[in-house]
Amino acid sequence: MPTLTLRELADAIEARFEGDPDVALSGVAPLERAGPADLSFLANPRYEESARESAAGAVIVGESFLGNGRNLLRVSNPYLAYARAVELLLPGPVFRAGVDPTAIIDPRAEVSSESSVGPFTAIGPGARVGSGAEIGPSCVIEAGVEIGSGCRIFPRVTLHSGTRLGARCIVQSGSVLGSDGFGYATDERGRHHKVPQRGGLSIGDDVEIGANVTIDRGTAADTVIGAGTKIDNLVHIAHNVTIGQNAFIVAQVGIAGSTSIGDYAVIAGQAGIVGHVRIGDRARLGAQAGVIGDVPADAEYSGYPARSHREQMRAYALFARLPELFDRLKAVESRLKRK
Amino acid sequence: MPTLTLRELADAIEARFEGDPDVALSGVAPLERAGPADLSFLANPRYEESARESAAGAVIVGESFLGNGRNLLRVSNPYLAYARAVELLLPGPVFRAGVDPTAIIDPRAEVSSESSVGPFTAIGPGARVGSGAEIGPSCVIEAGVEIGSGCRIFPRVTLHSGTRLGARCIVQSGSVLGSDGFGYATDERGRHHKVPQRGGLSIGDDVEIGANVTIDRGTAADTVIGAGTKIDNLVHIAHNVTIGQNAFIVAQVGIAGSTSIGDYAVIAGQAGIVGHVRIGDRARLGAQAGVIGDVPADAEYSGYPARSHREQMRAYALFARLPELFDRLKAVESRLKRK
Amino acid sequence: MPTLTLRELADAIEARFEGDPDVALSGVAPLERAGPADLSFLANPRYEESARESAAGAVIVGESFLGNGRNLLRVSNPYLAYARAVELLLPGPVFRAGVDPTAIIDPRAEVSSESSVGPFTAIGPGARVGSGAEIGPSCVIEAGVEIGSGCRIFPRVTLHSGTRLGARCIVQSGSVLGSDGFGYATDERGRHHKVPQRGGLSIGDDVEIGANVTIDRGTAADTVIGAGTKIDNLVHIAHNVTIGQNAFIVAQVGIAGSTSIGDYAVIAGQAGIVGHVRIGDRARLGAQAGVIGDVPADAEYSGYPARSHREQMRAYALFARLPELFDRLKAVESRLKRK
């Protein structure tokens, strides 16, 4: 692992340092577990005390933290600076171009010689893999799929025909992109007949998709995920959904068909959104929210059925007081009866 | 892609046409995106205006739509007719029988010569694969599994021993059928001991299973999925569950052990059903419903704990008015106190 | 399949028998489906009538069951005894050591000669596989992964670098262990930058993990799962979570980052727990519970937002009576107005 001095790190992540410029750092750790060779960070003022007491060799802090003589790296966004520092102190595996001899690449596929393809991966005709892309073992890349430069496809990923990934996307293990949506026409006897799903799945640059996610292709047009959007594990995105840029979708969320999600929207874990609604830009949906209608831009919604988080929290607090409410009502009724 | 005239399409899908019989159609698209070579459809009267304004070359409509001189295909069930038309205009890949040379098929398996098996797929002893079945790459088909004729097993599917699929089933990528259920006997020290799961998984004809679904085998008898039932992505079905015919189970639903689901039941996304209960035929469960008891046939349930949707909606509406309720109660109390 | 007499079974599972010691048993079945060659069990007093009427050849029962002349095996924990009996009557496939010729094992991996590795599985440099471990087909075992003796890795499992499994763990098909957590630093323009996830995933002895589960590696330190803990299908466990020993986590549960779960905790299906909270030892969380704060040891919580199950059930019962409450309040108001 590389070792960097405080001064070298300050230069690399564009921070101002305080303390010993020559202290050597070779790892990272949370404040409470860090040792003298570890870099740590303080992003939440709630943990200032921990930052003061930490045994860390140095701590990345914001501008307002009161230094107490310890080694610091000052920046405006400590967590972002920490992300960069980790890449320096604990770099990921070195990328090596090359195709495993067991991989099966159709001769009509265009796979950059500067990409890597793992064992037992199959790439179909017409697929295109960009420079610097890394495709793990046991992936299935169907005909015509496009994988932009610098993408990282983790092991055991399925990219169905019609899927196009921009540059620098990450797709984690077990995810299935471009699956058939849940579309059926029901006949007069109640039997469900499959509606062929012939649309594609268009994914912008810098999108990350977690493990065991499912994203359905569109029915006739495309399902769309905007650039910079991040999607956590076990999320389900149905056919014809449109998601904007830099959205943030936490684990186990489900988004039903044809719904649109705005730019910078944040959807917390296990929330569910019905089909054919619009979630505005920068909207925030609480964990487990059950959204059954449109959500305006900048709104914060929660609960079931989801509505304004502020109102919802007030109603849930009163919900807990329902026994008291019934008792008070009964007392009022008794008093009236006595009159 | 094939091109068909309005007249040819009308013949093929058994529709009556209005307008120019010779207009050429070669694609499909939603009403608002369709161009002059696209076929579209109108299933929901709410979108009649879109149908009138659409640039589509032709629209499949119901009997009551007021024609305005445009090219129409009239049928009683437009969405079902559309499903058929898509197959004609945008046919799927042509089926080609054959076994990829990298597939490993146990000599004791019976794999129809009219089926196809993709690369890196392993098929165990005693497994049977019917005529016209299509098994994608990187699947694991364990010993004794039965796959009916015309089934389509997408890439990266696991079919554990004891799993039997009827004819024409579809299993999408990443799904695991016949996994061990969550069965443990807990000892006096609180340690959980695995109860061997030795039952099977029986799946009827024409069942479709989405991506990354898990269906557990039975403990001693079988888990059963009836013919024609459709299951969306990321659904969990526990051991010993019985599902009837033509049920409709939307994404991320969870069904706990030994519960039974009736024919034609519809279970909306993220709903959860506890173990050992009965959901009647044609019952409808709302999205995110939390079902903790039996649900009668034909009932519509929602919310947590789930009960009659109509009553639940009334209670949720009043829930939002709890602040008002407390205020009104307080006013009543004040008034009584003043007396 | 083996056949055992009642007397042999009694010896093997340390039970006392009543009835015919020579009755031959060769299978297992639930009480209502069992035939004369089947062993069944009665764990819940609610089903005593079924036990009396069952056609089973013998029934495992507790000490208090009133014998009615039928063949019985008496033990203190019938379900646990049943689990052992199933292993005897319906043993799983015999373990055979050996590496499939298509498996790719890095020469720097240490794979016990007493283990088995299925076809199309890739094992990276520095990985260690213990004696008696069984790794199914199409698994991806990355560099440095440790798999303890007697582990069973089902087909199509990904174990990322940094993952260490104790002895006798089971990981079912499609699961992804050691995926990158959902960690991003957001810049002033709202763009999310990946925080490298460099921690590991430490899993104790005798842990079972269901199908299509995702467990993220830690960010800097490890995600930890204690010995004896059981995890059902489609569960999501985020980075830096710590789970104690013998916990029981039912299907589709989601646990957000840095939360800790105590020993013997039981988390029912689809429950969700926010990040950075503590769930005490032996706590019980109801199905679909939405946990937004700490839960004390031994507490039973349910609902959203989760709190004491007893209080919650009372409040939900009154929730259903909200229409009545509004009617009564209105009557009170009318009466006051009339005065």
Distance from CA of A156 to the nearest CA of B (A): 8
Identify whether A119 is preceded by a cis peptide bond (ω within 30 of 0): no
What is the distance between the alpha carbons of residues A141 and A207, in angstroms, rounded to a whole number?
Answer: 18
Give the closest of B188, B193, B272 to C288, CB-based. Answer: B272
Domain range B4-89, its CATH number among 3.40.50.300, 3.30.450.20, 2.40.180.10, 3.40.1390.10: 3.40.1390.10
- Contact between chains at B172 and A174 (C-beta distance less than 8 A): no
Give the closest of C82, C211, C287 to B290, CB-based. Answer: C287
The answer, for B119 touching chain A at a CB cutoff of 8 Å, is yes
* A contacts of B30 (beta carbons < 8 Å): 219-221
- Contact between chains at A251 and C274 (C-beta distance less than 8 A): no
A–C interface: beta-carbon pairs under 8 A: 183
Fold observed for domain C98-312: UDP N-Acetylglucosamine Acyltransferase; domain 1 (2.160.10)
* C contacts of B185 (beta carbons < 8 Å): 77, 79-80, 82-83
Give the closest of C122, C196, C272 to A269, CB-based. Answer: C272
Buried b (16+ CB within 10 A) or exposed e, B6-38: bebbbeebebebbbeeebebebbbbbeebeebb
Which has the minimum average pLDDT: A204-213, B21-30, C44-53, C130-139? C44-53
Rounded to two decimals, the pTM is 0.97
Asked if domains B4-89 and B157-312 share a fold, the reply is no
Residue C1 banded pLDDT, cuts 50, 70, 90: confident
* C contacts of B143 (beta carbons < 8 Å): 93
B32 contacts: CB under 8 Å, gap ≥ 6: B50, B54
Q: Which residue of C has its CA nearest to A335?
A: C332
Query: Which chains pack against A, by 3+ Cβ pairs within 8 A?
Result: B, C
In tens, the pLDDT along C239-288 reads: 999 999 999 999 999 999 999 999 999 999 999 999 999 999 999 999 99
What is the distance between the alpha carbons of residues B319 and A315, in angstroms, rounded to a whole number?
Answer: 7
At the second CATH level, the architecture of B157-312 is 3 Solenoid (2.160)
Question: How high is the mean pLDDT of chain B?
Answer: 96
A190 HSE (CA, 13 A, CB side): 13
Output phi, psi for A295, to 5 deg.
-125, 125
Mean pLDDT across the stretch B197-219?
A: 97
- Decide: B72 and B22 in contact? Cβ < 8 Å: no
Distance from CA of C300 to the nearest CA of A (A): 16
Residue B68 has pLDDT above 90, yes or no: no
pLDDT in tens, chain A (339 residues): 789 999 999 999 999 999 999 999 999 998 999 999 999 999 888 899 999 999 999 999 999 998 778 999 999 999 999 999 999 999 998 899 999 999 999 999 999 999 999 999 999 999 999 999 999 999 999 999 999 999 999 999 999 999 999 999 999 999 999 999 999 999 999 999 999 999 999 999 999 999 999 999 999 999 999 999 999 999 999 999 999 999 999 999 999 999 999 999 999 999 999 999 999 999 999 999 999 999 999 999 999 999 999 999 999 999 999 999 999 999 999 999 886
Which has the minimum average pLDDT: A43-57, B169-183, B219-233? A43-57
Positions of C marked active-site = 239
- Contact between chains at C211 and B176 (C-beta distance less than 8 A): yes
- Contact between chains at B305 and C326 (C-beta distance less than 8 A): no
pLDDT of residue C39: 96
* A contacts of C140 (beta carbons < 8 Å): 136-138, 155-156, 173
Identify whether C107 is preceded by a cis peptide bond (ω within 30 of 0): no
- Decide: C217 and C179 in contact? Cβ < 8 Å: yes
pLDDT of residue B45: 87
The answer, for C120 touching chain A at a CB cutoff of 8 Å, is yes
Query: Which chains pack against B, by 3+ Cβ pairs within 8 A?
Result: A, C
What is the distance between the alpha carbons of residues A206 and B281, in angstroms, rounded to a whole number?
Answer: 46
pLDDT of residue C67: 77
Proportion of chain B above pLDDT 90, given as a percent: 94
* A contacts of C236 (beta carbons < 8 Å): 232-234, 251-252, 269
What is the distance between the alpha carbons of residues B312 and A332, in angstroms, rounded to a whole number?
Answer: 27
In tens, the pLDDT along B29-38 reads: 999 999 999 9
* C contacts of B192 (beta carbons < 8 Å): 228, 230, 246, 248
* B contacts of C287 (beta carbons < 8 Å): 256, 272, 274, 290, 292
Distance from CA of B135 to the nearest CA of C (A): 15
Starting from the edge strand earliest in sequence, which strands make up the sheet with A27-28, in order? A16-18, A72-74, A58-61, A38-41, A27-28
Query: For C199, which DSSP code?
Result: -
**Long-range pairs for A241-249 at CB < 8 Å and ≥24 separation?**
A241/A216, A244/A281, A245/A204, A246/C190, A246/C191, A246/C192, A248/C184, A248/C192
Listed by number, the residues of chain C in 200-229 with a beta carbon closer than 8 Å to a beta carbon of chain B are 206, 208, 210-212, 228
The answer, for B65 touching chain A at a CB cutoff of 8 Å, is no
- How many C-beta neighbours within 10 Å does residue A77 have? 16
Give the closest of A160, A212, A254 to B269, CB-based. Answer: A254
In tens, the pLDDT along A305-320 reads: 999 999 999 999 999 9
pLDDT of residue B339: 67
- Decide: B122 and C118 in contact? Cβ < 8 Å: yes
- Contact between chains at C154 and B179 (C-beta distance less than 8 A): yes
A162 contacts: CB under 8 Å, gap ≥ 6: A144, A145, A178, A198, A199, A200, A201, A217, A222
Query: For C219, which DSSP code?
Result: S
- Contact between chains at B195 and C269 (C-beta distance less than 8 A): no
What is the distance between the alpha carbons of residues C310 and A16, in angstroms, rounded to a whole number?
Answer: 55
- Contact between chains at C322 and B315 (C-beta distance less than 8 A): yes
Is the ipTM, as predicted for this complex, more than 0.95? Answer: yes
Q: Which residue of B has its CA nearest to A221?
A: B29
* C contacts of A312 (beta carbons < 8 Å): none
B–C interface: beta-carbon pairs under 8 A: 183
Helices C322-338, B322-338: axis angle to 10 degrees equals: 30
Proportion of chain B above pLDDT 70, given as a percent: 100
Listed by number, the residues of chain A in 244-283 with a beta carbon closer than 8 Å to a beta carbon of chain B are 252, 254, 256, 270, 272, 274
Q: Which of B160, B193, B236, B239 is catalytic?
A: B239
The position carrying tokens 């069973």 is C152
Distance from CA of A28 to the nearest CA of C (A): 6
Residue C68 has pLDDT above 90, yes or no: no
Which amino acid appears at position B157 of this protein? V
Domain ranges of chain B: 4-89, 157-312
Give the closest of A182, A195, A315 to B323, CB-based. Answer: A315
- Contact between chains at A318 and B323 (C-beta distance less than 8 A): yes
What is the distance between the alpha carbons of residues A115 and C209, in angstroms, rounded to a whole number?
Answer: 34
Listed by number, the residues of chain B in 142-171 with a beta carbon closer than 8 Å to a beta carbon of chain A are 154-156, 170
Positions of A marked active-site = 239
Q: Among candidates B161, B149, B266, which has minimal Cα distance to B205?
A: B149
Q: Among candidates A238, A214, C251, which has minimal Cα distance to B215?
A: C251
- Decide: B265 and B284 in contact? Cβ < 8 Å: yes
pLDDT of residue C339: 66
The answer, for A331 touching chain C at a CB cutoff of 8 Å, is no
The answer, for C29 touching chain A at a CB cutoff of 8 Å, is no
- Decide: A268 and A248 in contact? Cβ < 8 Å: no
* C contacts of A60 (beta carbons < 8 Å): none
Which amino acid appears at position C86 of this protein? V
Q: Name the 3-class secondary structure at B184.
A: strand
The position carrying tokens 């064992």 is A119
Question: How high is the mean pLDDT of chain C?
Answer: 96
Interface test with A, best of B25, B212, B337 (most A CBs within 10 A): B212
- CA torsion angle B201 B202 B204 B210 (round to 10): 0
B284 contacts: CB under 8 Å, gap ≥ 6: B265, B266, B267, B268, B299, B300, B301, B309
Distance from CA of A243 to the nearest CA of B (A): 18
Distance from CA of C261 to the nearest CA of A (A): 18
